[in-house]
Structure 1
Amino acid sequence: MSNSHSKNSLSIDIDETDKRLLRLLQLEARMSITELAERVNLSATPCARRIKRLEDSGIISGYHTQIDAQKLGYPLAIFIAISMDRHTAERFLQFERKIQSFDEVISCSIVTGRSEDYLIKVRVRDMAHYEEFLLHRLNRIEGVAQVHTSFELREVFSRSIV
């Protein structure tokens, strides 16, 4: 996971055409330049230039494929709230580096408004896999003081469109 704040802080003006391009790419990132251009009433070259400008500015930070985790054998989604023992920059940085190395972790956020410091979401095959992850990896990260687990019963929806 990269820190989007330090990646590109270039500020660019976004117009309605840029917004339409971004929405289309979020819905279908594999859409051709020709089709994108058609949908936003541009020719292909100006459309490609706009996309390149959005990429160079960091507004478009990558292209991703959505995967059905259940069909791949990872039916359990778990939210884990984590409290750290000390609130120092070094402790948080150490935790963040380590948590990124675990393939099971699909998101990690620092949160406010609760007693915990982090909220992570993990995907596992079954309870035995979760137990191994929790006891032998997550709880062994230096500084993890407390964890609180909530199992996702059903994802109502997930949206990555801004």
Structure 2
Amino acid sequence: MTDTSLDEVDRAILRALQEDARHHTNAEISERVDVSATTVGKRIAALEEQGVIQGYRTEIDYEVAGYPLLVLFICTAPIADRERLLRETFDFDGVVNVRELMTGVNNVHILVAGTATDEITRIAHQIDELGFNVNDEILLRNEYNEPSAHFEPGVADE
């Protein structure tokens, strides 16, 4: 399924799920979208089946959870080894997110949560020993997420 095959109902459902998938029931979404709760459930199942919805994730405030250090490692990985390196990165305790970028350098961003600097240093060594070239380490303060404007009501194939 491509973005152009999403209709207004699909977009509205995706918007509601992005806002709060845990607390929006099919019945609540159906009121917003003006279709039955059964239709919402079928649409969600179809979007999951087609791979548009790939999962549901919990957003964690790591500082509140006892991991006050959130560090972004900006790395370079050889293209031939990148896929393997990305998979193996999740073997390290503390790695919470890995992003692959389509650039020659700084092509991998690894987000790590930890309790102390020595823990972050240990993870940095593991990342380096695995085969990444660590180019930068950035201590993050906050991260913000927002539902995509692509799924706003009335936005279609702009």
In the superposition, the TM-score normalised over structure 2's length comes to 0.81
**Unmatched tracts of structure 1, length 5 or more:** 1-9
Note if 1:62 corresponds to 2:62: no
Matches within 5 A, 1:96-135: 96-112=86-102, 115-135=105-125
Structure 1 residue runs of 4+, over 6 Å off? none
Q: Which residue of 2 aligns with 1:139?
A: 128
Q: Deviations for 1:35-55, whole angstroms, at most 9, x for unmatched residues?
A: 111121111111111111111
| Corresponding residue to 1:149 among 137, 147, 151 | 137
Number of equivalences: 146
**Unmatched tracts of structure 2, length 5 or more:** 149-158
Note if 1:92 corresponds to 2:78: no
Superposed CA RMSD in Å reads: 2.1
- Work out the percentage of aligned pairs sharing the same amino acid: 27
Opposite residue 124 of structure 2, the aligned amino acid is L
Q: Which residue of 2 aligns with 1:46?
A: 39
Q: Could you tell me whether the CA contact under 8 Å between 1:106 and 1:122 is conserved in 2?
A: yes
- More helix, by proportion: 2
Q: Secondary structure at the match of 2:6?
A: coil
Opposite residue 67 of structure 2, the aligned amino acid is Y
Q: Deviations for 1:41-74, whole angstroms, at most 9, x for unmatched residues?
A: 1111111111111111111111122222111111
Distance of 2:55 and 2:31 partners within structure 1:
22
Q: Which residue of 2 aligns with 1:5?
A: none
In the superposition, the TM-score normalised over structure 1's length comes to 0.79
Distance of 2:62 and 2:134 partners within structure 1:
27
Q: Secondary structure at the match of 1:42?
A: coil
